[in-house]
Amino acid sequence: PSVHTQLCQAKQGSDQCSSTLAQRIIYEYGKRGLLESHIAASIKLYRTKRNQTLEAISNLFPPDISWTRPEGGFYLWVTLPPSVDTTSMLAWAIEHEKVAYVAGSPFYAHGQGKNQFRICFSFPDTNQIEEGVRRLARVVTHHIERLPESYHRELG
């Protein structure tokens, strides 16, 4: 088999079952009563990051943009005007602002979501969140400013 096939098979194997060592570590962690405090600390950390991301978006993004307020998970979704294609916008974002996101269309079966993107708030630290949202805001603003005049007239 090709190297690609072998890597895919190895990845499938690791996805189907956690390692015995990892399972044993988590078991001991729980048995010693450490899991509850870790979960509480994690909830606090990720809630803070989520709220910081939401506040930065609210302050920096153009007013005609919408976004989700996640109640769980590590991602939020941003929806742009229908004529903005976030897949093509991504290359510009990476080249000009050195920021990335996941375009929305791959999450849909029939071509929807082309004007949406998903961002992750779990990994970056608080300084990176602020700067990342600032860069995303510049990307979004740049692309919205280039929409047809009819779009801007509709906004009033």
Backbone φ and ψ for 150, nearest 5 degrees, come out as: -60, -35
Alpha-carbon gap, residue 83 to 148, rounded angstroms? 9
pLDDT digits (tens, 9 = 90+) for 51-83: 999 999 999 999 889 999 999 999 999 999 999
Residues 65 and 24 in one domain: no
pLDDT digits (tens, 9 = 90+) for 16-48: 677 788 889 889 989 999 989 999 999 999 999
Residues 100 and 129 in one domain: yes
Number of compact structural domains in the chain: 2
Residues 54 and 110 in one domain: yes
Print the domain residue range for 113. 43-155
Alpha-carbon gap, residue 73 to 69, rounded angstroms? 10
The identity of residue 123, as a single letter, is F
- Please identify which residue in the block is written with the tokens 């979004």: 140
